[in-house]
Amino acid sequence: MPESTTKTKSKIKRPNLDALKTGEVTIADVPSDWVIEKSKDLYGIDRWSNGYFGIAPNGNLTITAPGLAEHPIELLEVVGGLKQRGLEMPVMLRIENLLVDRVEQLNGAFSKAISESNYQGDYRSVFPIKVNQQNHVVAEIARFGEKFAHGLEVGSKAELLIAMSTLRSKDSLIVCNGYKDEEFVDLGLQASRIGYQCFFVIETPSELGLILERADHWKIKPLLGVRLKLSTEVDGHWSNDSGDRSLFGLSTTQLMDVVDHLRQRELLDCLQLLHFHLGSQIPNIRNIRDAVSEACRFYIDLVEEGAPLGYLDLGGGLAVDYDGSSSTATHSRNYDLDEYCIDIVETVMASLDPPGVPHPTLVTESGRWTVAPTSILLFNVLSVSTFDPTPFPELKNEELSESTLSLLETLSALKERRLQENYNDAIYFRDQMRMAFRVGEISLRERALAENICLTILNKIAELVPKLKKPTADLVKMCESLSDIYYGNFSVFQSLPDAWAIEQVFPVMPLQRLNEKPTRSAIIADLTCDCDGKLSRFANEDGPASTVPLHPLHPDEDYLIGVFLVGSYQETLGDLHNLFGDTNVASIRITQEASIEFIHELEGDRISDVLSYVEYQPQEMSNRFRTMAETAVRDGAITVAQRQEMLRLFNESLRGYTYFEN
């Protein structure tokens, strides 16, 4: 073996090492012709931002409040204001103007569709509290929705208590879904008693008896609805919520039983609402039309049976275009708000007009659409790891093994026409080199050098791959494997749980330097020690991408990233993985004079908070540590002054933020 090694060595021509300086292998230099329009395009801002976000000439990301197009506000300015107020990153930022705009748009679009089609019924929006239960959010919806009699949908006693104490207009609907026990029903009846339009939606046959019994007890006539199980099945992630196997709703047989029972008790006039919910985020408008049309068949026949009805509740499902592709992909949708409203109105009219059934009040429970764009997760980048090669030292051929020399030769022979072959060679010789290391033929120092040569080859190949018309899957995967890892000050599990649980895509982009070409491609890792704690699916016009373009960090300069459209479901579904708690939360309002008002701040969990959630008692922990320190003093291991210092650190940490602090 050693002999042949020597022979091969001598055959190999010494590669030209001058070409291997790393200056040449880094990804293209910053070109000067980069303009902010390119960043807009690259991050797809106009595709997903609903016009709420833009870029200032200085390269900073801006919020454009509706009606204030002339006065965009830089997000960095907001971050600065938060810092002055003691709110460090990560922060969940809510923008009140956007919430107001969503409520107005939703009601406005239905109102427009209704008047344009000469529809004879009304429209009522209800917000499903489960989508974002935060007090401030629900209170704002109630406040700004008052003029539209915007209501609330509740699925539990806790949510019903929120609705009863938050809604301002008695014309607003409270729609009670979910399983209801006696206390739930009693509460809802009290809501009716003080004048709210509180509907009990019957989801299972057994509920009806309980509701009628309690209504009888309180001498209150209940408002009833029935939840249909439609046979229309939908596309998208929540497709299981629809069709025969859907978890919720009455089968047709059960529905007829409910009707018969009510008629028998002479209470059929209580049945005033027909409800269905096909699941959230329905990407395809055709599914929505089909479902409405099927529900209308139920509506017509129930009216014929003698139920007054009057309300047709279409549930949620109005989707958000997370990836900006305007397609039927799971994280997108092939329709906009106006189309949604018009299609619903027209489908109902087309179904009800021939038999001459009066037009009902339309109800939708649009949660995701209403609140998704109103919150942004903001965090700073702590560090970056790259897979860039480093410069080589002076090399002497005679000290190198066969596999290392082969790697060097592969490097010097690199050709755009033969990238796949060059790649195969690099991997082959690298594996040989690793084998040689394992059996003790080469030293650790040589292995480090050889790995570095291999990385240089792969980076050079990656630079050339974009020039190929049809790169192989191998090469594409290799390029991804060279992407940087940006470490962000946040927890996916706490703030973006759907990114982990259901591979939800959210728009992600930097808040600054958008007048500069982002030359790095990266994935973003969070603070948890979990290999799932990362963002590696990003919104892209042609479907999700596995990396996002970012800028190389500048020393001593914060690099801030925003994750957008996170107002729905994320905060509440979040959990305490690795004991990272709730983030700081702030709400702002942009005034007519285009200044920022900080209207609401909420400090995130302290370390002592998250510890007590998992049943530790911070006071007791502190006491135990003090005893331990005192024993150490007694044993002469530390001084009293050192004891004091330790206790101060321990107790300060208990009061500290769970995230990385500067």
In angstroms, what is the minimal distance from the CB of 469 to ligand PLP?
A: 41
In angstroms, what is the minimal distance from the CB of 157 to ligand PLP?
A: 16
Dihedral pair phi/psi, residue 618, rounded to 5° = -50, -40
Name the segment binding ligand PLP (CB under 6 A); options: 86-94, 124-132, 265-273, 333-341: 124-132
Among residue numbers 179 through 238, which ones bind ligand PLP (CB under 6 A)? none
Q: 22: closest CA among 385, 386, 383? A: 386
Taking CB under 6 A as the rule, does residue 367 contact ligand PLP?
Answer: yes
Among residue numbers 315 through 334, which ones bind ligand PLP (CB under 6 A)? 315-318
657 DSSP 8-state letter:
B
Residue nearest ligand PLP, CB atom distance = 316
CA distances in angstroms from 102 to 73, 366, 560, listed in the order given: 19, 10, 26
Please identify, using beta-carbon distances, which residue of 133 and 432 lies nearer to ligand PLP: 133
Please identify, using beta-carbon distances, which residue of 419 and 565 lies nearer to ligand PLP: 565
71 CB neighbour count, 10 Å cutoff: 16
x/- letters, 284..313, toward ligand PLP (CB under 6 A) = ------------------------------
Please identify, using beta-carbon distances, which residue of 176 and 524 lies nearer to ligand PLP: 176
HSE of 355, CA atoms in CB hemisphere, 13 A: 15
x/- letters, 161..180, toward ligand PLP (CB under 6 A) = ----------------x---
HSE of 181, CA atoms in CB hemisphere, 13 A: 4
Q: 482: closest CA among 505, 465, 506, 507? A: 465
Name the segment binding ligand PLP (CB under 6 A); options: 259-267, 273-281, 290-298, 448-456: 273-281
338 DSSP 8-state letter:
H
In angstroms, what is the minimal distance from the CB of 496 to ligand PLP?
A: 17
Whether the Cβ atoms of residue 56 and residue 74 lie closer than 8 Å to each other? yes
With CB under 6 A, what is the number of residues at the site for ligand PLP?
17
State the angle between helix axes of 419-438 and 473-481 in degrees (0 to 180), rounded to the nearest 10.
Answer: 60
Whether the Cβ atoms of residue 188 and residue 138 lie closer than 8 Å to each other? no
Please state whether beta strands 548-550 and 520-525 pair in parallel, antiparallel, or not at all (unpaired): antiparallel
Which residues sit opposite 535 in a β-bridge?
524
Name the segment binding ligand PLP (CB under 6 A); options: 127-135, 337-345, 479-487, 594-602: 127-135
Please identify, using beta-carbon distances, which residue of 153 and 526 lies nearer to ligand PLP: 153
d(Cα 532, Cα 535) in Å, to the nearest integer? 8
Taking CB under 6 A as the rule, does residue 124 contact ligand PLP?
Answer: no
d(Cα 494, Cα 490) in Å, to the nearest integer? 8
Name the segment binding ligand PLP (CB under 6 A); options: 128-136, 214-222, 251-259, 547-555: 128-136
Please identify, using beta-carbon distances, which residue of 254 and 568 lies nearer to ligand PLP: 568
87 DSSP 8-state letter:
-
In angstroms, what is the minimal distance from the CB of 155 to ligand PLP?
A: 6
Name the segment binding ligand PLP (CB under 6 A); options: 68-76, 126-134, 422-430, 481-489: 126-134
Whether the Cβ atoms of residue 171 and residue 150 lie closer than 8 Å to each other? no
In angstroms, what is the minimal distance from the CB of 131 to ligand PLP?
A: 5
Taking CB under 6 A as the rule, does residue 574 contact ligand PLP?
Answer: no
In angstroms, what is the minimal distance from the CB of 364 to ligand PLP?
A: 8
Coil, strand or helix: which one is 506? strand
In angstroms, what is the minimal distance from the CB of 557 to ligand PLP?
A: 38
Whether the Cβ atoms of residue 462 and residue 478 lie closer than 8 Å to each other? yes
Give 12's contacts (C-beta < 8 A, 6+ positions apart): 397, 405, 406, 408, 409
In angstroms, what is the minimal distance from the CB of 350 to ligand PLP?
A: 24
Name the segment binding ligand PLP (CB under 6 A); options: 13-21, 94-102, 361-369, 504-512: 361-369
Which of 140, 153, 321, 323: binder of ligand PLP (CB under 6 A)?
Answer: 153
Per-residue b or e along 183-201, where b marks 16 or more CB atoms closer than 10 Å to that residue's CB: ebbbbbbebbeeebbbbbb
255 DSSP 8-state letter:
H
Which of 47, 157, 229, 277: binder of ligand PLP (CB under 6 A)?
Answer: 277
In angstroms, what is the minimal distance from the CB of 82 to ligand PLP?
A: 28
DSSP H helical segments within 12-95, as ranges?
A: 36-42, 45-48, 75-84
658 DSSP 8-state letter:
S
In angstroms, what is the minimal distance from the CB of 347 to ligand PLP?
A: 18
Where on the chain is the footprint of ligand PLP (CB under 6 A)? Answer: 128, 130-131, 153, 177, 277, 280-281, 315-318, 365-369
